[in-house]
Amino acid sequence: MPTAKKKTTSKTAEAPANAAAMMGFAPEALAGWRDIMTEWGRFVTDRLKQDAETQRAMLQCKTTAELFQVQTEFFQTAAKQYSEETMRLMQMMSETAGKSMSTGVSSRKYDDVPL
C-alpha cells in the first residue's frame, strides 16, 4: 500500500530568510542588541563567580559576626554592581535606538518578509 508523503516545514530553513529580512531592516539595531546581550552575559558570569566566592567565604566563617560581615559586603557590592550594570545597559540601549533611528527610511519593501 503506497504511503502518502507528509509535507514538513522546517523552522531552520526559515531562519536564514528571517535573519536576512531583519538585517535589511536595521543592521545597526541588530549589532547593538548583540553588544547588549554580550555585555549582559559578561555581567551575569562575573556575578555568578562572585556569588560562588561569597558562598565559600560564608562557609569559612567561625562566628555569626563574621557571617554578618560577609553577607553585608555581598549585598552592598551586588546592589552597587546591579545598579551600575542597569545604567550601562540603558545607555547601550539608548545609543542603539539612536543609531537605528538615524539610518532614516527603511530599505525594506512591503513584500520582502518571507511567509
Whether the per-residue pLDDT at 59 is higher than 60: the answer is yes
Place of cell 562566628: 63
Range of the domain at 53: 31-102
Residue 71 maps to a domain: yes
The structure's pTM equals 0.64
Residue 11 maps to a domain: no
Residue 2 maps to a domain: no
More confident residue, 107 or 59: 59
Residue 86 maps to a domain: yes
- What does the mean pLDDT of the chain come to? 81
Task: Tell me the C-alpha to C-alpha distance, in Å, between residue 50 and each of 1, 10, 38, 40, 95.
Answer: 64, 42, 19, 15, 29
Rounded CA separation 52/73 (Å): 14
Residue 1 maps to a domain: no
Residue 60 maps to a domain: yes
Domain count of the chain?
1
Rounded CA separation 55/62 (Å): 14
With CA atoms as reference, report the closest residue to 43 among 89, 1, 4: 89
